[in-house]
């Protein structure tokens, strides 16, 4: 049984991606039996290229992705260079780790509440600094350059990349390299960038590619913060895919392939950039320059990192305040009155949606956990560890843009006449939950001291008994953390729920994003908060449960 789990895992993870891509390719070339159309033809692409907005949408997709990724990486690299190993760094790390679980949509909604012309920042500065006594008519939100969207992506990717960097540093032994560099007269940031960063970068490369692919094709953040005329390519694809006119799906499919091409192009561009930076970096190292900007780098990076954390924290605070706000006139910083009315009105529905959200997340994570534990145990018993190729396969579902294969998967399900609803949604979530659960659990699982297994088997314990009675209990904490990561990933899924659910499955994320276009801030506050809550509670439990269960076992808390 155990032998088949790795293959089953690959099937669950890559099957929908491949099927989805197939389901995209067919209609992109004019083949859609459900609409009575059969190809091949290039008409869908002709329609796509005739669309006025294609240039702007493609440019937006590329710029938001590349800028958001570079800025996030730069902030993370400079913060780590300037501060790793210090007290401030640990504070920032503690601050950012829980933010990782805040869903993209909730973070984007919170940010929107901060930066809209009638948001908190404008209110704080008005009327003293700005002279505004009513909200100005400027488009800070949904600006045509996508700056607000980039900001929304950066505040979420900084925690992700920072935690990836910290995890990667465990293997690079940064302290010793830094000591040597400092003894040779290098300041902390320059020394770190020259000695540690190249090795760390090698480790976080795949996560960076994921960030790039994700930022280019994200839908929920783009709906909330991105420009609307024209929207980003991904948003337009979703519009085409949900058009009542089935023929529009052909254009949508062609656009999805175009999107895939753009992502591949951007990844290639990034790859070339890596080489250029590496080349320049080697020069910089060989030059022996000790770095002239160590001071400013430290200060600026800390400010940016702090800003990024504060944007999410105050954004969530904004959601809280709006959900309790009665009448709130401009430019007052606080609502004129506080009331339970929004919770009374939206609370019961939100709670029911929370149930649906957890049901989908729970089943998907349950499957993921069984598959991942099975794979890891099979890996342990066969003595073969995950190869580089295996790691790439694990990252593949995260690298293929969602907008490229989810519409195809939806079309395929329609063609098959399969029921669209909760079960397909769960399996679509599994595609994204699986890799994250695997990545989260893999390292702690492999760094478990296998001599424990040797001792247990020397005591006569069978492999199954070792698995259930020794390894699982000893790894309670990382397993629960992986479960929490999986739930957070599932809770945050927007496109998979929207498209595969066919509008019949609504989770807190789809509801919150749907509300975003309406502008009822109190309702957005309620749903955004519930969404954050749904992602954060499992993490809190993952911390609490082992502490309670193993309260008399000190050896498990070190």
Partner 1 sequence: MNKGLTLRNVCILRGQSPLIEVDYNISEGEVLTVMGPSGVGKSTLLAFITGTLPSGFKGMGQVLLDGEDITSRPPHQRHIGILFQDDLLFPHMSVGANLAFGMPAGGTMTARRAKIDTALADVGLSGYSDRDPATLSGGQKARVALVRMLLSNPSALLLDEAFSRLDAELRAQVRDLVFRVAKERKLPVLMVTHDGEDAKAAGGKIIELESLTKN
Residues near partner 1 (CB under 8 A) are 383-384, 449-463, 469-470, 473-474, 476, 550, 552-556, 558
Task: Compute the least distance from the CB of residue 474 to partner 1, in Å.
Answer: 6
The Cα 377–Cα 382 span in angstroms is 8
| CB-CB contact of 29 with 39 (8 Å) | yes
Residue 413 backbone dihedrals phi, psi, to 5 degrees: -65, -40
Task: Compute the least distance from the CB of residue 395 to partner 1, in Å.
Answer: 24
Residues 6+ apart with CB under 8 A from 553: none
Q: What angle is formed at CA 406 by the lines to CA 396 and CA 479, rounded to 5 degrees?
A: 50
Q: Which residue, 537 or 556, has its beta carbon nearer to partner 1?
A: 556
Q: Which residue, 50 or 449, has its beta carbon nearer to partner 1?
A: 449
Task: Compute the least distance from the CB of residue 6 to partner 1, in Å.
Answer: 16
Task: Compute the least distance from the CB of residue 446 to partner 1, in Å.
Answer: 13
| CB-CB contact of 535 with 101 (8 Å) | yes
Give the rounded distance of the alpha carbon of 134 from its chain centre: 36
The Cα 381–Cα 553 span in angstroms is 28
The Cα 391–Cα 554 span in angstroms is 34
Task: Compute the least distance from the CB of residue 461 to partner 1, in Å.
Answer: 6
Q: Which residue, 366 or 463, has its beta carbon nearer to partner 1?
A: 463
Q: Which residue, 1 or 183, has its beta carbon nearer to partner 1?
A: 1
Which burial class, exposed, middle or buried, applies to 183 when counting CB atoms under 10 A from its CB (0-12, 13-18, 19+)?
exposed
The Cα 254–Cα 478 span in angstroms is 42
Task: Compute the least distance from the CB of residue 351 to partner 1, in Å.
Answer: 36
Task: Compute the least distance from the CB of residue 180 to partner 1, in Å.
Answer: 24
Q: Which residue, 466 or 496, has its beta carbon nearer to partner 1?
A: 466
Task: Please list the alpha-helical segments (H only) found in 383-401.
Answer: 388-399
Q: Which residue, 233 or 474, has its beta carbon nearer to partner 1?
A: 474
The Cα 454–Cα 450 span in angstroms is 6
Task: Compute the least distance from the CB of residue 555 to partner 1, in Å.
Answer: 3
Q: Which residue, 8 or 461, has its beta carbon nearer to partner 1?
A: 461
The Cα 118–Cα 137 span in angstroms is 10
Task: Compute the least distance from the CB of residue 544 to partner 1, in Å.
Answer: 17
422-438: b (≥16 Cβ within 10 Å) or e: bebbbbbbbbbbbbbbb
Measured between its terminal Cα atoms, the distance across the chain in Å is 35
Q: Which residue, 177 or 476, has its beta carbon nearer to partner 1?
A: 476
Q: Which residue, 242 or 476, has its beta carbon nearer to partner 1?
A: 476
| CB-CB contact of 164 with 237 (8 Å) | no
């Amino acid at each position: 049984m155990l032998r088949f789990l790795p293959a089953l895992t690959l099937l669950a993870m890559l099957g929908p991606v491949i099927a989805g891509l197939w389901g995209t390719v067919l209609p992109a070339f004019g083949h859609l039996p459900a609409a009575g159309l059969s190809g091949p033809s290039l008409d869908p692409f002709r329609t796509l290229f005739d669309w006025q907005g294609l240039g702007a949408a493609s440019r937006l997709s590329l710029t938001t992705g590349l800028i958001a990724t570079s800025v996030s990486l730069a902030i993370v690299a400079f913060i780590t260079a300037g501060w790793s190993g210090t007290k401030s760094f640990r504070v920032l790390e503690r601050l950012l780790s829980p933010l990782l679980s805040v869903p993209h949509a909730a973070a984007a909604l919170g940010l929107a509440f901060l930066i809209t012309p009638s948001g908190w920042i404008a209110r704080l500065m008005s009327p003293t600094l700005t002279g505004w006594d009513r909200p100005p008519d400027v488009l800070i939100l949904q600006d045509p350059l996508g700056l607000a969207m980039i900001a929304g992506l950066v505040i979420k990717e900084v925690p992700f990349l920072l935690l990836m960097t910290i995890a990667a540093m465990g293997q690079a032994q940064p302290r010793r390299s830094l000591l040597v560099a400092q003894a040779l007269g290098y300041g902390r940031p320059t020394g770190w960038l020259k000695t540690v960063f190249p090795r760390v970068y090698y480790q976080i490369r795949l996560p960076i590619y994921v960030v790039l692919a994700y930022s280019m094709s994200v839908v929920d953040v783009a709906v909330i913060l991105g420009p609307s005329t024209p929207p980003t390519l991904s948003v337009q694809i979703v519009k085409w895919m949900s058009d009542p006119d089935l023929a529009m799906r052909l254009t949508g499919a062609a656009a999805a392939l175009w999107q895939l091409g753009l992502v591949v192009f951007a990844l290639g561009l990034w790859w070339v950039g890596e080489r250029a930076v590496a080349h320049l970096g080697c020069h910089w190292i060989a030059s022996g320059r000790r770095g002239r900007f160590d001071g400013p780098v430290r200060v600026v990076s800390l400010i940016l990192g702090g800003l990024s954390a504060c944007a999410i924290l105050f954004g969530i605070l904004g959601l809280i305040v709006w959900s309790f706000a009665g009448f709130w006139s401009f430019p007052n910083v606080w609502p004129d009155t506080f009331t339970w009315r929004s919770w009374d009105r939206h609370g019961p529905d939100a709670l029911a949606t929370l149930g649906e959200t957890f049901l989908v997340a729970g089943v998907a994570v349950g499957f993921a956990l069984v598959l991942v534990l099975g794979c890891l145990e099979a890996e342990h018993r066969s003595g073969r560890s995950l190869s580089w190729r295996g790691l790439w396969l694990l990252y593949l579902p995260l690298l293929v843009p969602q907008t490229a294969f989810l519409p195809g998967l939806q079309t395929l399900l329609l063609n098959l006449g399969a029921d669209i609803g909760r079960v397909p949604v769960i399996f679509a979530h599994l595609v994204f939950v699986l890799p994250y659960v695997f990545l989260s659990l893999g390292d702690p699982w492999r760094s478990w001291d296998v001599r424990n297994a040797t001792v247990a088997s020397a005591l006569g314990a069978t492999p199954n008994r070792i698995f259930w009675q020794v390894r699982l209990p000893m790894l309670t904490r990382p397993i629960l953390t992986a479960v929490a990561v999986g739930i957070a990933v599932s809770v945050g899924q927007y496109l998979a729920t929207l498209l595969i659910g066919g509008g019949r499955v609504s989770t807190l994320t789809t509801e919150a994003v749907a509300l975003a276009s309406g502008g009822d801030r109190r309702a957005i506050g309620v749903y955004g908060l519930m969404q954050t809550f749904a992602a954060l509670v499992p993490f809190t439990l993952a911390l609490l449960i082992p502490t309670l269960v193993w309260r008399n076992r000190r050896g498990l808390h070190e």
